[in-house]
Structures are given as structure tokens and as C-alpha cells.
Amino acid sequence: MAEDDAPDLSTPEWREKFSDARVRRGRPPAELTKVSTTIRLDADILDAFRAGGAGWQSRINAALREWLRNQPTNPKQG
């Protein structure tokens, strides 16, 4: 790309576009948000989930959800 091909972003036209642009930082909001909590787990359980690499917290969540789904008294089952 030649030096002349790049637009001058300091012109009033570009400054206006940049000032009107909505800044969106971080991850997009999820439909179902998670709740931060503290839970005490046996070290070997935590080690086993962490050994699977990234996503270990999501795997714990999935395991708990599966356990809950298999409970006969779960009112959300249905």
C-alpha cells in the first residue's frame, strides 16, 4: 500500500465518525449470565478438571448441570 493510499484520519470528517462511534469493550453480553461464587472442592477433583486445560470451570458447570438433570426431585426437569 502506497503512503498516499491511506486516508488522513485527522480530518474533520474522520474525527466526527470516530467521535460518533460507540465503543464496545469486552465480551458481548450473554442472555444467561453466570454468577460469581466461591466453592470449596477437594484438591484432586479440581486438579482433574484443570488437567483438561482451558474451560475447566465450564466443565465443572456442565458436570453439575448433568448431575442436577439426573435428580428425580428436580422441579426444572420436565
Q: Is residue 55 in a domain?
A: yes
Answer with the residue of higher pLDDT: 11 or 2: 11
Q: Is residue 52 in a domain?
A: yes
11-54: pLDDT as tens digits: 998 888 888 888 888 888 888 888 999 999 999 999 999 999 99
- How far apart CA 50 and CA 78 sit, in angstroms, is 32
Number of structural domains in the chain: 1
Q: Is residue 36 in a domain?
A: yes
Q: Is residue 23 in a domain?
A: yes
* 1 grid coordinates: 500500500
Q: Is residue 74 in a domain?
A: no
Q: Where are the alpha helices (DSSP H) in the chain?
A: 12-20, 43-51, 56-69
Place of cell 465480551: 27
- How far apart CA 76 and CA 78 sit, in angstroms, is 6
User: What is the model's pTM?
Assistant: 0.56
**Identity at 1, one-letter amino acid code:** M
Q: Is residue 77 in a domain?
A: no
Q: Is residue 12 in a domain?
A: yes
Can you give the pLDDT at residue 76? 63
Domain that holds residue 55: 3-69
Q: Is residue 24 in a domain?
A: yes
